Amino acid sequence: MQKAAKKPRAVVNPVEWTPAESAELYGIRNWGAGYFDIDEHGNVTVSVPANGARVAVSLMDLIAGMQQRGLQMPALLRLDNLLEAQIALLNESFGRAIQALGYKAEYHGVFPIKVNQQCAVIEEIARVGARYGHGLECGSKAELLIALAYLEPDKGYIICNGYKDEEFVDLALQSLRLGFKCFFVLETPTELPLILEASRRLSVRPMLGIRVKLAAKVEGHWNESSGDRSIFGLTTAQIVELVDALREHELLDCLQLLHYHLGSQIPNIRDIRGGVLEACRYYVSLKQEGATMGFLDLGGGLGVDYDGSQTNSNHSKNYSLDEYSSDVIETIMTALAGTDVAHPVLITESGRATVAYSSILLFNILDVTSYEPGEAAPVVPAEEHELVKNLHEVLSGVSIKTAKECYNDAIHYREEIRDLFRRGQIRLRSLSLAENIFLHIVWDILAVLQKAKRVPAGFDDLEESLADIYYGNFSVFQSLPDVWAIEQVFPIIPVHRHTEQPTRRAILADITCDSDGKVDRFIESGGLRRSLPVHPFVEGQPYYFGVFLVGAYQETLGDLHNLMGDTNVASVRIRDDGSFEFAREMSGDSIADVLSYVEYQPQQLLEQLRRTAEQAVRDERITLAQRQALLESFSASLRGYTYYED
């Protein structure tokens, strides 16, 4: 194992390479949804709608803009235009389906705040959403406060899910007086007495909905939210009980909405149709029971095609947005045909699909570890151990025919030699020589296999096990928690250098020094791979990567592992002429910030060290000038970024 190869040896004469080949290799046109591509200079671009056409900006220009403003890597880049574009697409897609199929009611989306609670995001959604009557979904009191502050009363619905205490209920009921269209969704029968009491006390009649537990089970990672054992929603027995209670209190006319949520990232359109169909049966039944109804809320689940495969794999979806909207509308129309129930106002709570595209995590590479043999052919001294000599013989016999046998022999001898070392029977230098010979053998095998037309079985993980480790200036735990927690796959690609062939393969490690702080699942030409094609790292030259589609769920699920804090954030708006403005800049956490999150007092830390240093001066171990320099370094670090600073 060698550190940072200064002169990368993999390919001596890189072949001609075009940005189009890179685009193909990384599948950017499959997962980029038309927003991301690579330009003729080999830089990744983001392209946004502008005056009916599109305008593209290079991410390298945006990175330069960030640096000119003192925003170092790692940084989260938010593109307001993409948030706007996704909200427009969602509303326009439903609008078209409603018109084309002759549906007799409107569509209104609500954005579930939990998917990205950041102020800049909510502000933009509220601003753009006002055009379409796009509202907000709240799962807690804190989120309700956000919704009441950012929505205008007559624009968009507020859907309150989750457990509600008296304060929550009082606040939501009072908001109705201002004209807010704020629904309580009853998740359990125990919430009703609270609402009855508050409604009587405040003389406000509530807007009520109920969340139903559907029997339909869905595919995908989040299928636990579906099925009759899901933890949320009312059972049929509870629904009947609730309807009776509402009738008894003369509030059945307040029951207007039916809600369900099958879970996030539903990969298969069949499951979406199944859910809608079942929900319609409940809707009609509630209407027949005498509830007013009028609103059907399908929850979230609209998927994002992270791997670009357009399949029903967990990281993809086998349907387009237009298919989603027209299938939903068509299913409702079919289900209600033959009843006298009017088409309900349709609500969806799409979070992931609304915000995923709008954020990109950018980071630079700090260092590389290569698993490469030394340049020179290994020389085995005559007195060396027999097993090392045997291993060396394997090296001279590598060919396409013998590859498999050589590979097995090499692994066998290396294991034996490692054993000898563990028992103290050979020296470190012999072991090191053996490891080097081993690397020569496997790289030679890799070279002959690359020439072979068909790679024989048994070498599947050879390439992966030889992949370099590229150390990135970021924390998986802070910025990509789902990569660690649920093996989520995000598209990752170098932001520049796509006029050069990416001749190496690597996995990415973060700077937390945690063995889980790595990314080793990547998207390549539509498939998943355990390593990523990368360019040789050249020391002293910046090399930037982007992790795409990270706008949903990543920002506040992240934690302070190793006290790596929030990254810098820049919100950018691209103008129609292709210029851009930095709408917002937010500095990430300083070290003092993260220390105070875990209850340290930065001033007190400084004071404690000052005392130690003072004592050292008294003991004449350091000079006063040295004491001063040390304390100044400490203070500067407190103010500094938690990530690697240049």
Ligand X SMILES: *Cc1c(COP(=O)(O)O)cnc(C)c1O
Q: Which residues bind ligand X (CB under 6 A)?
A: 112, 114-115, 137, 161, 261, 264-265, 299-302, 349-352
| Closest separation in Å from C-beta 449 to ligand X | 42
CA distance linking residue 115 with residue 134, whole number of Å: 15
Which residue, 275 or 351, is less far from ligand X as judged by CB? 351
| Closest separation in Å from C-beta 90 to ligand X | 10
CA distance linking residue 185 with residue 466, whole number of Å: 54
Q: Are strands 44-50 and 2-3 parallel, antiparallel or unpaired?
A: unpaired
What is residue 519's three-state secondary structure? strand
Of 149, 65, 5, give the one whose Cα is nearest residue 580. 65
| Closest separation in Å from C-beta 335 to ligand X | 21
Which residue, 115 or 507, is less far from ligand X as judged by CB? 115
| Closest separation in Å from C-beta 277 to ligand X | 19
Which residue, 55 or 347, is less far from ligand X as judged by CB? 347
Which residue, 470 or 490, is less far from ligand X as judged by CB? 490
| Closest separation in Å from C-beta 304 to ligand X | 9
Tell me which DSSP letter residue 378 carries: P
| Closest separation in Å from C-beta 368 to ligand X | 36
Which residue, 352 or 504, is less far from ligand X as judged by CB? 352
| Closest separation in Å from C-beta 306 to ligand X | 13
Q: Which residues contact 232 (CB under 8 A, 6 or more apart)?
A: 187, 211, 213, 225, 261
In the structure encoding, which two tokens stand for residue 135, read together?
A: 């509202």
| Closest separation in Å from C-beta 536 to ligand X | 39
What is residue 87's three-state secondary structure? helix
Q: Which residues contact 561 (CB under 8 A, 6 or more apart)?
A: 475, 477, 478, 512, 514, 517
Which residue, 315 or 518, is less far from ligand X as judged by CB? 315
Which residue, 265 or 473, is less far from ligand X as judged by CB? 265
CA distance linking residue 195 with residue 378, whole number of Å: 80
Tell me which DSSP letter residue 138 carries: E
Q: Please state the length of the chain.
A: 646
| Residue 28 C-beta-side C-alpha neighbours within 13 Å | 27
| Closest separation in Å from C-beta 586 to ligand X | 24
Residue found by looking up tokens 């009759």 in the block: 228
| Closest separation in Å from C-beta 553 to ligand X | 7
CA distance linking residue 87 with residue 47, whole number of Å: 16
CB 96 within 8 A of CB 122: no
80-101 vs 321-336: helix axis angle to the nearest 10? 40
Which residue, 278 or 585, is less far from ligand X as judged by CB? 278
Which residue, 238 or 370, is less far from ligand X as judged by CB? 238
Which residue, 114 or 273, is less far from ligand X as judged by CB? 114
| Closest separation in Å from C-beta 112 to ligand X | 4
- φ and ψ at 139, to 5 degrees? -110, 5
Which residue, 112 or 156, is less far from ligand X as judged by CB? 112
For residue 237, the tally of other CB atoms under 10 A from its CB is: 9
Q: 596-603 long-range CB contacts below 8 Å, 24 or more apart?
A: 597/560, 597/565, 598/560, 598/563, 602/638
Alpha helices (runs of H) in 402-473, residue ranges in sequence order: 403-422, 428-451, 462-465
Q: What phi-psi label fits residue 428: left (phi over 0), alpha (psi between -120 and 50 degrees) or beta?
A: alpha
What is residue 453's three-state secondary structure? coil
For residue 427, the tally of other CB atoms under 10 A from its CB is: 12
Which residue, 352 or 627, is less far from ligand X as judged by CB? 352
| Closest separation in Å from C-beta 266 to ligand X | 8
| Closest separation in Å from C-beta 161 to ligand X | 5
| Closest separation in Å from C-beta 220 to ligand X | 10
602-618 vs 624-639: helix axis angle to the nearest 10? 170
Which residue, 22 or 358, is less far from ligand X as judged by CB? 358
In the structure encoding, which two tokens stand for residue 167, read together?
A: 């304060």
Cβ-closest position to ligand X: 300
For residue 525, the tally of other CB atoms under 10 A from its CB is: 12
CA distance linking residue 170 with residue 175, whole number of Å: 9
Which residue, 219 or 510, is less far from ligand X as judged by CB? 219
Q: Are strands 157-160 and 492-494 parallel, antiparallel or unpaired?
A: unpaired
